[in-house]
Amino acid sequence: MFKLIRDLRGLPESTKRIFALQDLKALLPAHGPDAFKLVITRLQKRGELNRLCRGIYMLPDCALKGSDLLGHVAARLRAAQFNYVSLETVLSAAGLISQIPLSRITLMSSGRSSVISCGRYGEIEFVHTGKKASELARELTYSAQLQNWQASVALALQDMKDTRRDTGVVDWEAAREFI
Protein backbone atom coordinates (compact mmCIF):
# COMPACT_ATOMS: atom_id res chain seq x y z
CA MET A 1 0.00 0.00 0.00
CA PHE A 2 2.65 2.47 1.00
CA LYS A 3 4.67 1.72 -2.14
CA LEU A 4 1.70 2.55 -4.35
CA ILE A 5 1.04 5.91 -2.66
CA ARG A 6 4.76 6.75 -2.64
CA ASP A 7 5.01 5.94 -6.35
CA LEU A 8 1.91 8.00 -7.17
CA ARG A 9 3.17 11.01 -5.22
CA GLY A 10 6.53 10.68 -6.97
CA LEU A 11 5.02 11.11 -10.43
CA PRO A 12 5.54 14.50 -12.10
CA GLU A 13 2.58 16.80 -11.42
CA SER A 14 0.91 14.15 -9.25
CA THR A 15 -1.40 16.80 -7.79
CA LYS A 16 -2.88 17.28 -11.28
CA ARG A 17 -3.32 13.62 -12.12
CA ILE A 18 -6.33 11.38 -12.32
CA PHE A 19 -5.64 7.65 -12.16
CA ALA A 20 -7.53 4.85 -13.82
CA LEU A 21 -7.48 1.40 -12.22
CA GLN A 22 -5.15 0.13 -14.94
CA ASP A 23 -2.65 2.89 -14.01
CA LEU A 24 -2.69 1.77 -10.40
CA LYS A 25 -2.46 -1.90 -11.35
CA ALA A 26 0.68 -1.17 -13.38
CA LEU A 27 2.39 0.00 -10.19
CA LEU A 28 1.53 -3.28 -8.40
CA PRO A 29 2.07 -5.95 -11.07
CA ALA A 30 2.73 -8.76 -8.57
CA HIS A 31 -0.70 -8.40 -6.95
CA GLY A 32 -3.49 -10.67 -8.13
CA PRO A 33 -6.97 -9.24 -8.74
CA ASP A 34 -8.24 -9.89 -5.21
CA ALA A 35 -5.13 -8.54 -3.49
CA PHE A 36 -5.13 -5.49 -5.74
CA LYS A 37 -8.80 -4.78 -4.98
CA LEU A 38 -8.04 -5.07 -1.25
CA VAL A 39 -5.16 -2.56 -1.51
CA ILE A 40 -7.39 -0.03 -3.32
CA THR A 41 -10.19 -0.49 -0.76
CA ARG A 42 -7.79 -0.01 2.16
CA LEU A 43 -6.27 3.11 0.60
CA GLN A 44 -9.75 4.57 0.16
CA LYS A 45 -10.72 3.80 3.77
CA ARG A 46 -7.50 5.42 5.01
CA GLY A 47 -8.23 8.53 2.95
CA GLU A 48 -5.11 8.18 0.83
CA LEU A 49 -6.99 7.64 -2.42
CA ASN A 50 -10.31 9.20 -3.46
CA ARG A 51 -12.71 7.45 -5.81
CA LEU A 52 -14.19 9.87 -8.32
CA CYS A 53 -16.35 7.40 -10.22
CA ARG A 54 -16.14 3.78 -11.28
CA GLY A 55 -12.52 2.97 -12.11
CA ILE A 56 -11.16 6.53 -11.66
CA TYR A 57 -9.23 7.76 -8.62
CA MET A 58 -7.17 10.71 -7.40
CA LEU A 59 -4.89 11.59 -4.50
CA PRO A 60 -6.59 13.68 -1.79
CA ASP A 61 -4.24 16.62 -2.40
CA CYS A 62 -5.27 16.85 -6.04
CA ALA A 63 -5.10 20.48 -7.19
CA LEU A 64 -7.80 20.00 -9.83
CA LYS A 65 -11.22 21.38 -8.98
CA GLY A 66 -14.59 21.93 -10.67
CA SER A 67 -14.74 21.62 -14.43
CA ASP A 68 -10.96 21.13 -14.67
CA LEU A 69 -11.25 17.98 -12.56
CA LEU A 70 -14.30 16.76 -14.47
CA GLY A 71 -12.54 17.40 -17.79
CA HIS A 72 -9.61 15.22 -16.73
CA VAL A 73 -11.99 12.49 -15.58
CA ALA A 74 -13.91 12.64 -18.87
CA ALA A 75 -10.66 12.31 -20.81
CA ARG A 76 -9.74 9.15 -18.86
CA LEU A 77 -13.23 7.64 -19.07
CA ARG A 78 -13.56 8.01 -22.83
CA ALA A 79 -9.96 7.94 -24.02
CA ALA A 80 -10.88 5.59 -26.88
CA GLN A 81 -13.66 7.82 -28.25
CA PHE A 82 -13.77 11.17 -30.02
CA ASN A 83 -14.96 13.72 -27.44
CA TYR A 84 -15.09 17.46 -27.19
CA VAL A 85 -16.42 19.90 -24.60
CA SER A 86 -19.46 21.68 -25.99
CA LEU A 87 -23.07 22.63 -25.33
CA GLU A 88 -23.83 24.45 -22.07
CA THR A 89 -20.24 24.27 -20.81
CA VAL A 90 -18.84 26.25 -23.75
CA LEU A 91 -21.79 28.63 -23.91
CA SER A 92 -21.61 29.34 -20.19
CA ALA A 93 -17.88 30.13 -20.44
CA ALA A 94 -18.67 32.53 -23.30
CA GLY A 95 -21.40 34.20 -21.22
CA LEU A 96 -24.17 33.22 -23.63
CA ILE A 97 -26.46 31.31 -21.31
CA SER A 98 -28.25 32.58 -18.25
CA GLN A 99 -27.80 29.39 -16.25
CA ILE A 100 -24.25 28.55 -15.26
CA PRO A 101 -23.80 24.77 -14.92
CA LEU A 102 -22.05 24.28 -11.60
CA SER A 103 -20.20 21.03 -11.03
CA ARG A 104 -21.19 19.72 -14.46
CA ILE A 105 -19.42 19.44 -17.77
CA THR A 106 -21.04 18.56 -21.09
CA LEU A 107 -19.23 16.85 -23.94
CA MET A 108 -20.17 15.57 -27.35
CA SER A 109 -18.91 12.01 -27.81
CA SER A 110 -18.68 9.32 -30.46
CA GLY A 111 -19.56 6.94 -27.61
CA ARG A 112 -23.02 6.47 -26.21
CA SER A 113 -24.89 9.18 -24.33
CA SER A 114 -24.70 8.94 -20.55
CA VAL A 115 -24.37 10.93 -17.37
CA ILE A 116 -21.55 9.90 -15.05
CA SER A 117 -21.82 10.91 -11.42
CA CYS A 118 -18.58 11.83 -9.70
CA GLY A 119 -20.30 12.20 -6.33
CA ARG A 120 -19.57 15.47 -4.57
CA TYR A 121 -17.30 16.52 -7.45
CA GLY A 122 -20.12 16.83 -9.97
CA GLU A 123 -21.36 15.16 -13.14
CA ILE A 124 -20.10 14.53 -16.63
CA GLU A 125 -22.65 14.38 -19.42
CA PHE A 126 -21.69 12.69 -22.67
CA VAL A 127 -24.04 13.37 -25.59
CA HIS A 128 -23.66 11.09 -28.61
CA THR A 129 -22.67 12.59 -31.93
CA GLY A 130 -22.08 11.04 -35.32
CA LYS A 131 -19.85 13.94 -36.37
CA LYS A 132 -16.26 13.11 -37.26
CA ALA A 133 -13.19 14.93 -35.99
CA SER A 134 -12.13 15.62 -39.58
CA GLU A 135 -15.41 17.48 -40.20
CA LEU A 136 -14.96 19.66 -37.12
CA ALA A 137 -11.22 20.32 -37.11
CA ARG A 138 -11.57 24.06 -37.76
CA GLU A 139 -14.09 24.44 -34.94
CA LEU A 140 -12.06 22.64 -32.26
CA THR A 141 -9.15 23.73 -30.09
CA TYR A 142 -7.33 21.63 -27.53
CA SER A 143 -7.80 22.66 -23.91
CA ALA A 144 -4.85 21.49 -21.82
CA GLN A 145 -6.74 22.74 -18.77
CA LEU A 146 -9.61 20.31 -19.44
CA GLN A 147 -7.47 17.66 -21.19
CA ASN A 148 -10.03 17.60 -24.01
CA TRP A 149 -10.90 19.17 -27.32
CA GLN A 150 -13.22 22.15 -26.99
CA ALA A 151 -15.85 23.41 -29.42
CA SER A 152 -15.94 26.94 -30.72
CA VAL A 153 -18.97 28.94 -29.61
CA ALA A 154 -20.46 28.58 -33.10
CA LEU A 155 -20.13 24.78 -32.94
CA ALA A 156 -21.55 24.67 -29.41
CA LEU A 157 -24.58 26.65 -30.62
CA GLN A 158 -25.01 24.24 -33.54
CA ASP A 159 -24.67 21.26 -31.18
CA MET A 160 -27.43 22.75 -29.00
CA LYS A 161 -29.74 22.84 -32.02
CA ASP A 162 -28.68 19.44 -33.36
CA THR A 163 -29.29 17.71 -30.03
CA ARG A 164 -32.58 19.56 -29.43
CA ARG A 165 -31.37 21.04 -26.15
CA ASP A 166 -33.21 23.95 -24.55
CA THR A 167 -32.04 26.90 -26.63
CA GLY A 168 -34.30 29.22 -24.65
CA VAL A 169 -31.46 29.72 -22.17
CA VAL A 170 -29.20 31.16 -24.91
CA ASP A 171 -28.77 34.93 -25.18
CA TRP A 172 -29.24 35.02 -28.97
CA GLU A 173 -28.54 38.74 -29.18
CA ALA A 174 -25.04 38.17 -27.77
CA ALA A 175 -24.65 34.94 -29.77
CA ARG A 176 -25.00 36.74 -33.12
CA GLU A 177 -21.34 37.76 -33.08
CA PHE A 178 -20.35 34.07 -33.08
CA ILE A 179 -22.71 32.85 -35.81
Q: Computed from CA positions of residues 93, 109, 158, 88, in that sequence, does the dihedral angle turn out positive or negative?
A: negative
| Residue pLDDT tens, the chain, 179 long | 677 888 888 888 777 788 999 888 988 888 899 999 999 999 999 999 999 999 999 999 888 998 899 999 999 999 999 999 999 999 999 999 977 667 899 999 999 999 999 999 999 999 999 999 999 999 999 999 999 999 999 999 999 999 999 888 888 888 888 87
pLDDT at residue number 11: 80
Residues 3-19: pLDDT tens digits? 788 888 888 877 778 89
pLDDT at residue number 134: 95
Domain positions in the chain? 2-58, 66-178
pLDDT at residue number 130: 96
Residue 83's φ and ψ, nearest 5 degrees, are: -135, 150
Could you tell me if residue 95 is left (phi over 0), alpha (psi between -120 and 50 degrees) or otherwise beta?
Answer: left
| Chain centre distance of CA 29 | 27
Question: Could you tell me which CATH number the domain at 66-178 has?
Answer: 3.30.460
Q: How far apart are CA 39 and CA 37, in angstroms?
A: 5
Q: How far apart are CA 36 and CA 57, in angstroms?
A: 14
Residues 87-106: pLDDT tens digits? 999 999 999 997 766 789 99
Decide if 139 contacts 152 (C-beta within 8 A): yes
pLDDT at residue number 172: 87
